[in-house]
Amino acid sequence: MSGFVSFVSSGPGDPELLTLKAADRLAKADVVLFDDLSAGPILGHAREGAELIAVGKRAGRPSPKQDHVSRLLVDHAKTGQRVVRLKSGDSGLFGRLEEELVALSAAGIDHEIIPGVPSACAAAAAAGLPLTRRLTARRVQFVTGADVTGDLPETLNWAALADPGATTIVFMGKRTFPKLAADLIAHGLAPETPALLAEAVGHSDQSFQRATVATLAASLAQARSDKPALILYGPLYDPEADA
C-alpha cells in the first residue's frame, strides 16, 4: 500500500505566512520531513503524534545527503503514510525539489506540490520595497550564489546579472558576494548600485542592511554571520531617497 507525499512550501519562517492548504496538510501528516528554516513555530501546525524528522542542509554544517532524504520519502510513503516534505520559501526555488520528485516518480508514489510565499517576496515586503518599479525595474531575476561545492557558480549570465534595469535576488550568496560583486562591476554594473542584505527573513531576529553593491561586498568580506540571508540589488526603491 502506497502513501502520499505533499511537498509543502512553508514560506520564509513566519507561520502566519503559511497557506491554508499548507496548514491543512501539516495537520493531517503522519510524518514530516523538514528543513532547518521550516522548523520552529511552523511545526506547531503538525498534528500531535506526527513523526518529525529533520533533514535540513546548511552550509558548513553536517547535513544529510540528498539521496538519503529522497530514500526517506520513498520508504515512509511505501508504508502507506501521509508524508509532508516541508521546505522553506517556495519549494520550487533552489530547494532541490526535482531530485525528490524524480525519486518518487521512479517509485510510483503519488505526490502534490503546494506553493508558498517565496523568501525573496517576503524579504521585499518586510523591507518595504517593491521588486518591480515602473520605468526602472521591469524585470526580476533569481540566482544562486553557490553551486554544489559552495563556490560561486562558474556559468553565470553576466550580461543579465549586470543589467541596471533588473532587480536581482541572490540566494545563498553571503559568502560569495564579494567575488560576485567584483565580477558584476567588471561587467559594467555601477559600484553604487543599491543593495540590500536581508537576514533571517520571517523570523523574530530578521534584519535589513541597505548599502551599495560595493559597500556590501566590502562588509561581507570582513564579517559574516550564520543567519540565512538574501541579497537584493538593482534600482531598489528607497523611501528616503525617492521621497
- pLDDT of the chain, 243 residues: tens digit per residue: 579 999 999 999 899 999 999 999 999 999 999 998 888 899 999 999 999 999 986 655 556 888 999 999 999 999 999 999 999 999 999 989 999 999 999 999 999 999 999 999 999 999 999 999 998 998 999 999 998 888 999 999 999 999 999 999 999 999 999 999 999 999 999 999 999 999 999 998 999 999 999 999 999 999 778 889 999 999 999 877 765
CB neighbours of residue 65 within 10 Å:
10
Among 114, 137, 153, give the residue marking a domain's end: 114
Q: Cell for 95?
A: 530547494
User: Taking Cα atoms as reference points, which of 205, 193, 203 lies closest to residue 231?
Assistant: 193
Q: How far is CA 52 from the centre of its chain?
A: 21
Q: Edge-to-edge strands of the sheet including 110-114? A: 51-54, 31-34, 82-87, 4-9, 110-114
Among 114, 130, 162, give the residue marking a domain's end: 114
Q: Which residue has the cell 531575476?
A: 141
Among 85, 114, 143, give the residue marking a domain's end: 114
Q: Structural domain of residue 101, as residue ranges?
A: 4-114
How many structural domains are present in the chain?
2
User: Taking Cα atoms as reference points, which of 147, 143, 222 lies closest to residue 184?
Assistant: 143
Q: Which residue has the cell 511545526?
A: 43
Q: Residue 17 belongs to a domain with what CATH number?
A: 3.40.1010.10
Does the pTM exceed 0.85?
yes
Q: Which residues are catalytic?
A: 35, 57
> What is the chain's alpha carbon radius of gyration, rounded to the nearest angstrom?
19
